[in-house]
Structure 1
């Protein structure tokens, strides 16, 4: 089969601008719903989407420690779902070497992206 590939990276992307790292995304112009992944219209009200930037700060919604080896990754890894301030919920990795999970409600800040393209967060 030709022309079959992995396609575009499905993860949220950092804004290419300078300054503090931010996630490039969208916001519904009708209901204000934030998105970090592309969509043709708002998944809540089908309204139009406008470009937006989210972060760098947010609050941990949930986290876990992944101790299973994955290709290109060395365990243990702390994964976090973060509710970006006034923005969407995104999945990322904890940037520092700690191996305990973060508690819900902990404040974190986006520090950038890993060489693999994963969002990186650290405690504030």
Structure 2
């Protein structure tokens, strides 16, 4: 989606107000060695998003929760073009956290990880989660 800003069209980015609209940052929070998010009190659905007014599955009430940083790779790919401050090649992977949601993370190595590879989210780089293969 694009919005006009000062007479030019730009892409909306997470963060502060852009073009007069508040834009939510949907990236997961990593703090104290855990991934923080929300969990539904009714259906127990986990979410890594920061601010949901209700559960997207059952519309039940959500509460703050934190999730283990370990999980398995669901899918991964190597990006071969520069994106923002990142220089290619770099790998991205969807990680199914053991007790939580599926999150997108930058893989510490610049190659794909086979499905099912065990990884641990180790931190944040440029605002995005970083995961390393468990030895």
| Match in the other structure for 2:47 | 35
Matches within 5 A, 1:1-124: 4-5=17-18, 7-15=23-31, 18=32, 21-37=33-49, 38-95=51-108, 98-114=109-125, 116-124=126-134
Q: Which runs of 5+ in 1 are unaligned?
A: none
What SS is found at the alignment partner of 1:9? Answer: coil
Bigger relative contact order, structure 1 or 2 (CA pairs below 8 A, ≥6 apart): 1
The number of residues matched between the two structures is 117
CA drift of 1:71 comes to 2.4
Give distance in 1, aligned partners of 2:42 and 2:24: 28
- Long gaps (5+) in structure 2: 7-15
| TM superposition shift of 1:9 | 2.4
TM-score using structure 1 length = 0.86
- Displacement after TM superposition at 1:56 (Å): 1.0
- The structure with the largest strand share of the pair is 2
Q: Normalised by the size of structure 2, how large is the TM-score?
A: 0.80
CA distance in 1, matches of 2:88, 2:37: 30
Kept in 1: contact 2:90–2:111 (CA 8 A): no
Q: Report if the CA contact (8 A) 2:93-2:105 is conserved.
A: yes
